[in-house]
Chains A and B, each alone.
Chain A
Amino acid sequence: MTSDKSKLGFFLLLSPLLLWLMTLIILPHVGMFFVSISEKVGVRQYETGFGNYAVFFNEPLYWNTFARTAYMSIAATFLTLMIGFPIAYYIAKLTKGRTKTTLFLMCLIPFWVSELVRTFGWMILLRETGVVSNFLQYIGLVDGPIEFLYNDAAIMTGLVYTSMLFMVVPLVTTLDSLDDSLIEASYDLGGNGYTILREIIIPHAMPGIVSGCIVVFMLSLGNYLTPILLGGKDSLWFTGLIYSQFITRFNWELGSAFGFLLLGLSSLIVFVGLKLSRQSLTETMGR
């Protein structure tokens, strides 16, 4: 580090990193912030101000969509955790050797496929002429075709499906590292299934739970495909609003403001999640 030669090496290694982070991450976001606080007052005339944010708060459609996106994402995160945890526990603690590897890989495989393909699969299953509707008619449970698409349950199904990997993998990893003898010791000391889950397993799995939840929440919040394709045109997802401001209405100023609001919300939730569980971003994400 002290010789000139190694200093040169250091700067050679540092420059691609700085170039990447400056031009593609930091400056674009700074730039977007400045666009978001400029108001159009005439042709090619702009003024600095928070007018775009005021538009957001004055238009119920906008902040309703915002709130809806937030709580649907929280619900999706919670559901993913509830569904994924027993699976992760089963893989990590109740299987061994080959079975374990196989089950774990089976969890991964769907996610080597594009999100678009997965969503397309759900469309084939859920639409009026789809597999589920036909199956229900075939076994005589219903008389006519049923439309399962274009409602919140369909969005939820898609979101949970899309995020499952990002919940199960960190959970399996942390549960795997839980020593079996801790569970045995707590049985030996008189614990039962519930107290052991609460006092031993969940505290141990907390880092995995937090990192899983953060990633799933982020993915749901930023999701565009699933709400559009499974929820239909009126699905009201905040990313949809951003897209339409940018591409259809060409109102980049308002779109940037929306983008910042979404970014702010996701950062806030990540921050709160990390604080509540006393984890740091580096250890939660850096693996």
Chain B
Amino acid sequence: MSEIADLECRELSKSFLDFQAVKDVSFSVPKGTFFSILGPSGCGKTTLLRMIAGFQEPTSGDLLIKNKSVLDVPPNKRPVSMVFQHLALFPMMNIAANVGFGLRQRGVDKREIEKRVETVLERVGLPGVGNRSINQLSGGQKQRVAIARCMVLEPDVLLLDEPLGALDLKLREHMKIELKKLQAEFNTTFVYITHDQSEALVMSDQIAVMNHGVFEQIGTARELYYQPKTAFVAGFVGEANKYDAKVTAKNGDALKLVTGDGVELSGLDAVGGLNEGDRTQVFVRPEAIKISRKQADIKGMDNSHSGEIESILFNGANSQLLLRDNSNGAQINITMPQTGEFRDLTRGDNVYFGWEAEQTRCYLADKVS
């Protein structure tokens, strides 16, 4: 990369007494990026974030901000700011005092503080609220104050620790867009951790999927969704139907597989290196599966099956069908096509479904953790 990265981690590790929370994590975040770390709870993402903020010391590895190691810099001197999970706004101060806190610590002139606080409050869309108390704000406004409190210090990196987790669903949807806008407005590097994939997919330029203390994959939302590199990413990001199967034949990337209960599948070696006889995990996205009432429409596809509709999960544009495969009784999840053709499907109907081999991504089963 030609430009200096705002944040760079080199083989960062953190061990606690009995387990390793973060293992050799390396990545770099270019300036102005919205970078998300996505992972289930307990995957080590909070530990990683707290190391970046300086609240925890790495066991090994290095941490650089603008190409300078900050390992010896205490949290109150690091050029990073953090938006806490529950925001940690100071209830004993009004909004202006909250936002001005960091500037006061730096010994900035009083009048200058007032000016900058007002400016940053305007930028987050809350002009003139300085004299109000924290409790007079709504959930979304508190978020913005928390961000303003950090941004007024003009940090190199802003860390966000699942700040949307406490909000209700509607507000969360709204704040996703808001956050993305704010990030563009300030053009500051955001490092955002979350366990909610939709937050990560919607907002981020780059996403790192973390599991058991390691980064499984770093990429754009598209890459993670369409070209997951590991079985974990394939299963964690987006929805997928999953099979356990054994490779019976291999021709380049094309695989022939058979499941434990004898169903034959055609698939694609997602990362390479699979051989005949390997046990694999096979993922197919619900929207990749085509359905039809006539067998002829499906017959030409690499994988073709039939099944009985077990239930219809109606949810407007996101409606889904749950099918029971006639050949082995496995449950399949299919996105209901948005053409009117299938509107009259009911429970118990028999339909044909199929998908192409390139939509079928296979991973070595041992790699699954």
Contact = CB atoms under 8 A, between A and B. Distances in A.
Q: Do chains A and B touch in the complex (CB under 8 A)?
A: yes
A93 interface: no
Interface residues of B, number: 27
Contacts of A190: 76-77, 102, 105-106, 153
Contacts of B105: 189-192, 195
A191 B76 CA distance: 6
Contacts of B342: none
A179 to B, nearest CB: 7
B368 interface: no
A182 B88 contact: yes
Nearest to A195: B105
A182 B101 contact: no
Question: Main SS of the interface on chain B?
Answer: loop
Contacts of A204: 91-92
B84 interface: yes
A192 B74 CA distance: 10
Q: Which of B75, B82, B88, B91 has the most CB of A within 10 A?
A: B88
B92 A188 contact: no
B88 A179 contact: yes
Interface in A166-218: 179, 181-182, 184-192, 195, 199-200, 203-204
Interface in A16-33: none
Contact of A181 (B54, B75, B86): B86
Contacts of A185: 82, 84, 88, 90
Nearest to B55: A184
A191 B93 CA distance: 15
Given A195-B105, A204-B92, A187 B75 contact: yes
Nearest to A188: B82
19 contacts: A181-B84, A181-B86, A181-B88, A184-B75, A185-B88, A187-B76, A188-B53, A188-B54, A188-B75, A188-B78, A188-B81, A189-B101, A190-B77, A190-B105, A191-B76, A191-B105, A195-B104, A203-B93, A204-B91
Given A188-B82, A191-B105, 17 more contacts: A179-B86, A185-B90, A186-B101, A187-B74, A188-B54, A188-B80, A189-B101, A189-B149, A190-B77, A190-B105, A190-B153, A192-B105, A195-B104, A195-B105, A199-B93, A204-B91, A204-B92
